[in-house]
Structure 1
Amino acid sequence: MTDLSMHTAAKMARIALGHVAQEYPHKLDHVLGGDEDARPPRELHPVFFGSFDWHSCVHGWWTLLTVRRLHRDGAEALEIERLADSTFTAEKIAVERAYLDRPLSRGFERPYGWAWLLYLHLEAAKHADRSWVAELAPLASAFANRFRTYLQILTYPIRAGAHSNTAFALVLALEWAEQFDEPLADLIRSRSRHWFAADRDAQAWEPSGDDFLSPTLTEALLMKRVLAEDAFGEWFGHFLPRIHQRQPETLFTPATVSDRSDGKIAHLDGLNLSRAWCWRLLGHRDVAEEHLAAALPHVAGDYMGEHWLQSFALLALLATRTIQADALIPPSPH
């Protein structure tokens, strides 16, 4: 049974429905090779042109499909179905797929957008009454192949607290690969152990000023996924040896957000939500609740956060028992 009530789900759906098809403002991840490449988002990406940027649109769609699956009787479910049916078409997906073949698109959305696309495809597979999983399959296959190549040439993991973070991308990609691509799942497990198995006594020098991921906790969550239970317990004890003394203190302290109209500073609300997700899955519900309570009141209100925060709130809520979530999320003004 999920902790996501219909009331909370409806709020999230209304917000996401309001931005996945909103083209502007838009921040493109697009390398121009000439004047002919200067084109609007809707032409470059007829599926994922909304939500300020490509990856936010992808996980905005993940939010919508997840809400539709969990609350089929909600008033928003029919609207989600109609919009998805008209968006996830073979013709539009083909344009998105062709974009990846551009010589200048090798690093497009790597690895964050790749991982979210796989996670969206995984969610689409849970909607057997629709063709969405089949329509998205060419994109999922393309990004899986990119992961396969990238993991073999990536000498060092990226431990930043934003889009380039390796561990977060692999947490999502592994869940997809375990269902659709076991060789890729094996590669993810192998590379994760290679990069992180020897890590000890994490100092958790975070957050940075625009983090929305905890490098420390996302690494721990990834290792929980790739190690056997006993092996993970031993690894985690070495990785965060003072956790029962609530040390490092920064991991237990929700981030302060000084200006939610600033897109980068607003990332810190996402940090609190993604930490809540990690803490709950790592078995520390009390710390998760502290972070969740700090961020949930701010998932709506300013577009700089509103275009993406629902996805991280949903991850946290699906992992955390939150009795008062409805009271914490304000209605969207849009």
Structure 2
Amino acid sequence: MSHSDLARAAWADRFAAVAVENTTREYPYAAHHTTSGPDDRALPVELHPAFATSYDWHSSVHMHWLAARLVAFGLPTGLEARLTSVLQAHLSADHLATEAAYLRGTPHYERPYGWAWLMRLAAEVTASEVLAIRSLAPGFVPLVDVVEELVTNWVDGAAHPVRHGVHANSAFGLLLVLEAARSLGRDELAATCERAARQWFGDDAGWPFAWERSGHDFLSAGLAEADLMRAVLPAAEFARWARAFLSEVQPGDAILSSTTVRDENDPQQVHLFGLDLSRAGSARRIADALGDGEPLAAVLDDAADRLLASGLAASVGEEYYSTHWLASFAWDAMEAREHAAR
């Protein structure tokens, strides 16, 4: 087992405990449902029978992704059985059909962040080596059909991307959808994402990283964009693009430094823990794509470990505003570390 594998194993049980708690906790729940009239009073579990836990819809989706990922990684028998049971109960074909109908009827709901995590969950379930998880895959087909249509309409109708560091960020959403589309064999959707990435970001250069980090970001707009282009462009083309886009990045810059969270009970400020974790994952993947001979890769790689360590404790803490979502980003960053090590 590699050093990176050992690091993940040391955290897997703790993340699994968080995933069990979150995927079974119905309240508090921030429902972003737009009511159509005085009689439109359905409970979250009625609107979203698959994803009515973990504080809000998108966090529920990516906590279910984490649960499926952890089951595939390997857990003590009790935790594995508990998570598998939750996934089977929540991700039934009937529940997923209800979710598909909701997305079709509300085509701007959770765009693009929730769509992106939903695609990632669908890809994880479909590719799982665990039969009990993979058996849920057929139920995701109607959901993926809907998301493919929604994403296509979205990128065709948008002249400009959203570049800020929270849920509506276009680059982060496109990356997760693209990777899932490739995994699921959705070639047209993958091509749509690639085309949008080139149109929206292909000519970017000299990104002003010094302007990043507002007080509730959980994504670096610049690193999310570079992470997307890493997945879109051939290696040599990406290296040229990255040198121009990341031209202002220097060792010690704020973009590569940990954040300061003064109030861990502030639901917006704790986004900054997620910023450290998401930057750790993006930086590692970008560095890995650039290769050892690129000086910029060493700068990014060096920062990734510090950023990962900065957000880990909050992901398994006692503050629900942190624990309902952070572990997903922590596990993603750990997987990026493992891939780079290999």
| Alignment TM-score, normalising by the size of structure 2 | 0.89
> Which residue, 210, 219, 229 being the options, matches 2:225?
219
Secondary structure at the aligned position of 1:48 is classed as coil
> Which residue, 57, 60, 68 being the options, matches 1:57?
60
Matched residues, percent identical?
34
Q: CA–CA distance in 1 between the matches of 2:104 and 2:234?
A: 38
Residue of structure 1 in register with 2:309 after alignment: 293
> Which residue, 150, 153, 156 being the options, matches 1:152?
156
Counting only pairs closer than 5 Å after superposition, residues 110-129 of structure 1 correspond to structure 2 as 110-127=111-128, 129=131
Secondary structure at the aligned position of 2:212 is classed as coil
Q: CA–CA distance in 2 between the matches of 1:85 and 1:293?
A: 33
1:73 shift after superposition = 5.2
Q: CA–CA distance in 1 between the matches of 2:307 and 2:152?
A: 34
Residue of structure 1 in register with 2:325 after alignment: 308
Tell me which of the two structures has the higher relative contact order, counting C-alpha pairs closer than 8 angstroms and 6 or more residues apart. 1
The more displaced of 89-98 and 43-52 is 89-98
> Which residue, 198, 207, 210 being the options, matches 1:202?
207
Secondary structure at the aligned position of 1:246 is classed as coil
Structure 1 segments unaligned to the other structure (5+ residues): 323-334
Conserved 8 A contact 2:261-2:272: yes
The more displaced of 123-132 and 293-302 is 123-132
Secondary structure at the aligned position of 2:104 is classed as coil
RMSD across aligned positions (CA) = 1.6
| Alignment TM-score, normalising by the size of structure 1 | 0.91
Residue of structure 1 in register with 2:16 after alignment: 13
Secondary structure at the aligned position of 1:85 is classed as helix
Counting only pairs closer than 5 Å after superposition, residues 1-334 of structure 1 correspond to structure 2 as 3=5, 5-71=8-74, 74-102=77-105, 105-127=106-128, 129-130=131-132, 131-179=135-183, 180-204=185-209, 205-243=211-249, 245-246=250-251, 249-283=253-287, 284-299=300-315, 300-321=317-338
1:74 shift after superposition = 4.6
Closer/same/farther in 2, CA of residues 101 and 319 from structure 1, 3 Å limit: closer
Residue of structure 2 in register with 1:327 after alignment: none
Closer/same/farther in 2, CA of residues 101 and 187 from structure 1, 3 Å limit: closer
1:287 shift after superposition = 0.3
1:321 shift after superposition = 5.0
Conserved 8 A contact 1:69-1:126: no
1:35 shift after superposition = 1.5
Higher helix share: 2
1:94 shift after superposition = 2.0
Q: CA–CA distance in 1 between the matches of 2:261 and 2:337?
A: 22
Q: CA–CA distance in 1 between the matches of 2:307 and 2:147?
A: 32
Q: CA–CA distance in 2 between the matches of 1:208 and 1:219?
A: 17
1:240 shift after superposition = 1.3
Q: CA–CA distance in 2 between the matches of 1:7 and 1:276?
A: 18
Letter in 2 for 1:9: A
**Residues matched between the structures, number:** 318
1:49 shift after superposition = 0.1
